[in-house]
Structure 1
Amino acid sequence: MNLSKTVASWGLGTKFVVFSLALLLLVQVAVYSVVRTSINSNVRAQLTQELVIGDKVWWRLLDQNAQKLRQGAAVLAADFGFRSALSSGDTETLRSALENSGARIGAPVTALLNPEFALQATGLERASEAQFAPILQRVAADIGKSDQNHQLELIDGKLYQFVMVPLKAPLTIGWVVMGFPIEQSLANDMFGLSGIHVVLLTRQGALLVSSLPVLDQAALSALGQGGEIRLGADTLVVRHSTTRSDITDVQTYLLRSLDEVVAPYQQVQLALLVIAALGLALFGAGSMVLARRITTPLHALVGAAEQLSRGEYDKKLPALRHKDEIGDLSRAFDHMRSSIRTQQGEILQLAYWDRLTGLPNRTQFRDLLQQSIKASIAMQNSGPPVTVIMLNLDRFKHVNDVLGYAFGDRLLVAVAERLSGLISADIGEVARLGGDEFAVLIESTDAMGALPVAQKIAASFEEPLTLEDQTVDLSAAIGIASWPMHAQDVDMLLSRSEIAMYVAKRKTTGIQIYDPALDSSSTQTLSLLTELRYAVDHGQLRLYLQPKLTLADNTVVAAEALVRWQHPTRGLVPPMQFIPFAEQTGFVRQLTLWMFEEVARALPALRADGRPLRVAINLSTRDLLDQDFPAKLDAMMAKHNAPTDAFCLEITESAIMDDPQRAEATLNRLSERGFKLSIDDFGTGYSSLAYLKRLPVNELKIDKSFVMGMETDESDAKIVRSTIDLAHNLGLSVVAEGVENQLILDKLIALDCDEAQGYYMSKPIPLPDFIAWRTKQQAATA
C-alpha cells in the first residue's frame, strides 16, 4: 500500500524513467537467458561433431604414421645386402640388419618372416625373441588376412603399431615386420592439430598414452562412463572411440575442453552484460529512443545465436551499422562463426582431400561414386551407367629409388596437374587413390564410351615430364569398369577396375576393359603359380641338355639347357604347359635363375674331361627388362666360381623388340661381363636387322621352321643360305636348330654352317645321360 502510494506520487518523468529502466532490464535478462541457452546447446552440439570428426582424424593420423613406418620397412626390404643375406640363409646378418634398421627408424621390434608367416630372424635380444615370436607370427598373419597395412597390439602394457611389407624377388619371398611404440608425441600431434585430447587405456584401466598433462585415478575411472568429467578446474566432454576393431584390449577416448570452447561465448555474454549496464545508464536520460536502439539489435543477436546453435556457419550474421559495443558484439559473433567454419573446413580437408595433389582422396572418390550410382538408380530405367577409369604409373618405384621421394612427390603433383588439365569438370572427376594410383569418375558413359578418354590419358604420357632439369618418361596401366555392367555396388566397381588395371600392367597392353574372364582365371593362376613355386623349392624341376654339334669336326662343344617339370602325380609335365604361364606371370625370372644355378653347379662335371663346353640358356622379355638381372648373375657366378664365357644367352627377337632401349642396355652389361649372346629363332621377326649392328651379339640361331623346310622348299634353303652369309659377313657364328635327318645336316655342312642341333643328333636328355652321350660321341669321332 505504501509502495503504491509512493509510485502514485511520482511525477511523469520519474515513472517514465523507472518503467523504461525496468523494461530494459527485463529485455536484457530475456536476451541473456536465450543467448546462454543457445550457447550451451550450440557448444555441446559443436563438441559432439568435433569429437566425431576428431575420431576420424586420430585414426587417419595412425594410418599416416603407419604409411611413414612402412616406407622405413620398405627401405630394409629393398636393401640388396639384406636380400642377399636372406638368399644365402645368413641368419646373423639378417638379425644385424633388422636390429640396425629398427634402431635407425625407432622400431624396437623387427622381424623377418617367410611367406607362410613363420619367424626366420628378429632384431630382438635373445631373451626377448621367444616372448615376441608367437606375437609377431600372429600379428603378421592378421595383417596378411586383413585389408589394412598395419595393426595395433598391446604387449606387456605397451601399445605397438606393427607394419608389414613384402620382400619380393619379384614374388613374395618373405615379410618384414616392424613394431613401433605409440608414444606421447602422436597424441600431442593430435592435440596440436585439432585441439582434441587422446587417452589410451587398457581394459583394466591402466594408462598407456595421454595428451592430458594431469590425469588422476578418479578421472580415469570416470572416462568409461562417458559424458563429461571434471579435471581440475576444467570440464571435458568424452567420446569413446569405436572406429577400429583390430585391437580390443585398448580403450581409446577423445576429450575436448568444454571451458575452452565456451570461453569465446563467455566474452559474448560479458559483452551483453556491459551493453545492459550501458543501456540502463542511457535509459535514465534517453528512455524510449535508447530502448529502441538497444532492443532491436539485441533481438538480431538472439537470432544469430540460434543460427549458430543449429550449426549454420555458412550464413553471415546480419550487418549492424552501429559503431558501438552492439556493433562490436555482432562482429565478434561473425568472426567466431567464420573461425568455426574455417576449423571445420581444415578438418574436412584432412578427411576428404589428398594433401599432396589437392585432388579428392579415396574416401571422397568413393562417396562421389556412391552418389552418382544412387542418382542413376533414382532415374527411370535404372538410369545411365557410371564408369571408373583407374590408372597406375609404371616404374614409379624406380623413380623414387633413383631420384628420391621428394622428387617422386613433385612428379605426382605434375601428373595430377596433367590429368586435371585433360579431364575437365564436364567430362569427369579426377582423384588420387593413394601412392601412384589415380582414378577418373565418368557419369552417363559405359566402358566403351570411356575408352577414348582412357586413350587420351595414355597418349598424354607419351610427352615426358620435365622437373628440375630432369626429364622423366612415364607410362601408365589403365583399367576400365562400369556400373551396372561390371559391378552392382561401389566397392565391387572399384575392385574390378583395379583388376583390369593390373591385368593391363601385367600384359603391358596399356588399357584393359574389365572382363569376367579376368576374375575366373585368378584362382587357377594362383593354384598353378603355387605349384610351380613349390616345384622350384622342392626339387621337382630337372635340367635337360640338347647337344650342339660343331659341323667342322663333328665334336660337341656346346649344348642348350632346357627345363622339365617332374610332377609327383602328373609325371613329366611338357614345357608348353607351364613355360607360357611362367612368362605371363613373371615367374619365368625364377626359372631363369634356377637354370643358371643348375648349370653353374654342373659345370665342373661337364668339363671334368678337360674339354670346353658352352651352355646356352634362354632369356625372356622379363629378364631383359629387369635392371638387376646382371647383378644377380654376378652374385651367382661368384658363388659357384663359374666363368661367364661358359654361358651363351639366347634372346628372341620379340624379347628385344618389346623395349629395345632397356633390352639393349641390359645386353651391353651382360656382354661386358663376358657372356656370349645369341639371337634365337632368327628370321621370324621383322625389325632385328636394325639392331644387329648395335647389339653385342656373337651368334645367330636360325629358326627350325626354315631348317626343316630346306629339304623340300627351295625358298627356305635360300633363306638359310642368306642368313649364314649375313652372319659370317657380320663376324657372327651360326647355329641351325631343327635338324631331323642326314640330308638336312649335309646341306648345312655344304652351306658352311658352324653348329647344328636337332633330334637327328640327340633330343634333350638329362644331365648324366648327356655326359655319357658326349663321351661316346667323342670316342666315335676320335
Structure 2
Amino acid sequence: MIKFKHIRSRIAFTFLTVVVAIQLAGLLPLKYALSKHADTLAAEQINVGERVFVSLLQHNTQSLKQATQVLAADFAFREAVATNDAETIESALESYQGRIHAQIAYYISNNDNLVIGTTDNEQALFGSNAKEDARQAMLENQSGTLKFDIIAGKPYQLITVPVKAPETIGWIVMGFAVDGRLADQIKQLTHLDVTFVQKTHQRDWQLVSSTSTRELSNLLVKTVADIYRQKLSLHRVDLNGQAYHLKIRSLHETKDDALLVVLQGSVEPFTQDLNTLFKVMVLLTFIGVLIFAALIWYVSRKTTEPIAALVNDADNIAMGDYEKEIQVNSTDEVGHLAKALNSMREAVLQRSLRIQRLAFNDELTGLSNRLAFNQGVHQAIMTHADSQQKLSVIVINIHRFKPINQTLGRDFGDDLLRHVGQVLKQNVLSEQDMVARLDADEFAVLLQQTDQAKATRYADKIQQVFERPVSVQGQAIDVRTGIGIALYPDHGLDEESLLNHAETALQESRAKKSPWIVYNTALEIDQSETLTLISDLKEAIQHDQLLLYIQPKIDVTTRRALGGEALIRWVHPEKGMIFPDQFIPFAEQTGVISDITNWMLLRACQVLAGFKKQGLHITLAVNLSTRDLNNMELPEQIGHLLSSHGLDAKSLKLEITEGSLMQDPERAEVVVKKLAAMGLHLSIDDFGTGYSSLAYLRQLPVQELKIDRSFVMFMDKNSGDASIVKSTIDLAHNMGLIVVAEGIENEFVLNQLAKLGCNEGQGYFIGKPMPEKDFSIWLERWEGQNEIDIDIGDDLSYDINPLEIDQQAQDPFKLDNLGE
C-alpha cells in the first residue's frame, strides 16, 4: 500500500485513481459498442443490396419478357412458324437477337419437331443437353420468369415466351450471358461488389465475373467453395486481412452444376469512421483527466491548509499559550474543530469566572437564570411603582425543541439555545432590559418603561428575526417561537403573578399557534406556513429532497446488532432541515402521508437489498400511519416491493402506533392480519402513550412491543419510570411479545433493561440516527467493541445543503472523516 507524507497527496491520488478507473470503464464498453455498430451497418448494407438485386432481376425479367413477346406476336414470324419456314424463322431470330443484345436465340416447336437457332448458338442448339435444357426452360418459365442455366460451360439468363396462333404452337428462347456487364449493373445500384462463380461437372468452382480485384476475387472463389452450403443468411469472412460480409444466392443448381452470385461488402469503411470517433473520445477523456488532476491537486491543497494551521494552533495551546484566539474562517468540520480548540482554550481561562456566575446565570447561554430574573423583575416593580410607569414581562418558548434535541443531539440543541439567547439580547429596547433563560427551551425578557404597544412591537420584531432559517453548526434550521406577554400593573403586581400570567399567555399562543398573545387575548391562527409546507412537501417527494436515516437497534442481552429503525429527514432547499413533527401531522391530515410511506418503504427495500449484497443480513423497521392502515392495497404493494428487491419478508418490520390502530379498529385489523399472513414482523410503537385496550391488542397478530422513550430515558433517576418499564416487559412477555426499549442514553439504563429481561433496544448511547451509508461502518465498529465513543450520524452535521453535496467530495458523516 502506498504511504503518503501529506493528506493532500493521499486525497489527490485516491480521487485521480477513481476518475481514471471510471473513464477506462466507460471507454472499453464504448469501443466494443462501436465495433458492433460498424458490423451492424455493414450487415444492413448487404441486406439492402440483396433486396435491390432481387428487384433488378424482377425488372430485367419484365423487360426481356416484353421484348421477346414483340417477336412472338409478330404476324410474319407466326406465319413462318405456322408454315415451318425455317429460313424465315432463323432470319427473324438473328435480327431480333442483335436488337436486344442476346447471346442465344432459338425457337422450339411445341412438339419438339422443329428446333431452329441462330448461327451464334450452335452449341446451344446441338449440344448434348441443349434440347433437354430448352424443354426444361419452357416448363419452368411459362410464367415468364428468368432462368439461369449453364450452357457449354457458360452461364446464361434464359427467358422463354410462347408463340400462339392462337394456341401455343412453339416457344422462343432468348439467352443473355452472365458477365461483367451484369455485375457492373448490379454494383451501380447496390454499391456492393458483385461476383459470379460457377461449378460444372467438368470443372470445379471458377470465377465467372466480378467487380472486385482479381486477387480478392480468387480468394472469394475459394471461400465460397467452403461456406456456400452453410445455412446462414449472412456470412462474415476475412479476406486479405479485412472483414467482409457475404450474401450468397444460388441462381442455378443441379446435381453437378451450380451458379452463385455473391454480394460482398467490407466492414472497414464503417469501422474507420467509428474508430475516428473513438479516438476523439479518448483524446477528450485524456484532456479531461489532466484538467481534473490539476483541479484535484488544487482543491486538496486548499482543503488541507486550514488543517495545517490548526495543527500549529494546537501546538501553541500545548505549549501553554491560551491567550491567542484561534481564527474560525469556515463552518465545516475544520471550523467545528477550530471552535472546539477555542472552547478548550477558553475553558481554562473562564473556569474561575464560571463559578461566580453559576449562582445567578445560566451556564449554557450566559444569560440570567430564573432566580436572577425574578429579582430583576422585583426591583423593576419597586422602581415603576413610584413612577407609576408600566413594564412588560415577555416569555418566549422554542417550538419543537424537544424533538430537535432528541433527533439532532444535545450539543446541537445547546448551540441553538445559545443562538436564541443572543438574538433576544441583541434586540432589547434599552440597556436596563433583561434577558433570562427560565427553563430548557423557555426564555424571558423584561422590558422596562414599556406599554402594550411597545411590547407587541418587540414580539413582532423577534418573530421577524426568526422568519428566516437560522444557521447552527453550519446547518440551516427553521426556528419557530411562541410568545406570551404580561404587563405591570395590568396583569399583576408582583414578579410571580406577572411571570405566571406571561406563561399562561404563552400556553395560549402555543395552543392557538399564534405568534404572540397578550394575557387574556386571543388571535387568529395563521395557516399560511402550513399551506406552503404542504406544497413544498409534495415537491420534496418528487425531487428527492427526503433522506433516509437509520437508528441502530441491538439485542440488549448479547449486544449484537440486529438492524435499525428507518427514519425520515427533509432537507428543504431554502429552509434547510425541517423536522418530522413539522410536516408529518399535516401530511397525515392531507393524505400526503401515503406518498411519504411509499417513499420510505421503497427506500428501505433498496437499502436492505444493498446491505444484502454486502453480506449484511439485517432488519429495518418502517412506521405506518393511520391512513396506511386503512389502505387495503398496502399488503400487495409491500409484497411487490419485497419480491422486486429479492428480500425475505422477515427483513422488513412495520411499526404501528396505538393511536393509528384505534382510528378505525376493524379496518386496521383486516390490513394488519393480511400483513402478518405475508410473514411480516409487526410491532406496536410508543406503547404506553396511546389509549388502546390490551384486549384489542391481543387480537392482533403482532410480534413486538416498543416501550416509549419517555419511560426509558430517566429510569436511572426515576424509580416510577423503572417500575412502569418492568411491568410493561413482564406484561409483554406474558403475551408472548418481544420487547424493544427506546431512548437508551447511557450504559446504566442498558444494563438495567437487560436485567429486567428486555429483548432489544435503541437510543443515543447505542447510536444516533445516521445516514444509511454510515450504518455499515457503525455496525463494524459496534461488533468490534460493543460501544461507540464517537458522535455518529448527527442529523444536522451537514455544513452545506446535502442536496448540493458533490458525490466525489468527502462525506462529513463518514466515521473516518469524523475521526480526523
Larger radius of gyration: 2
Same fold, TM exceeding 0.5? no
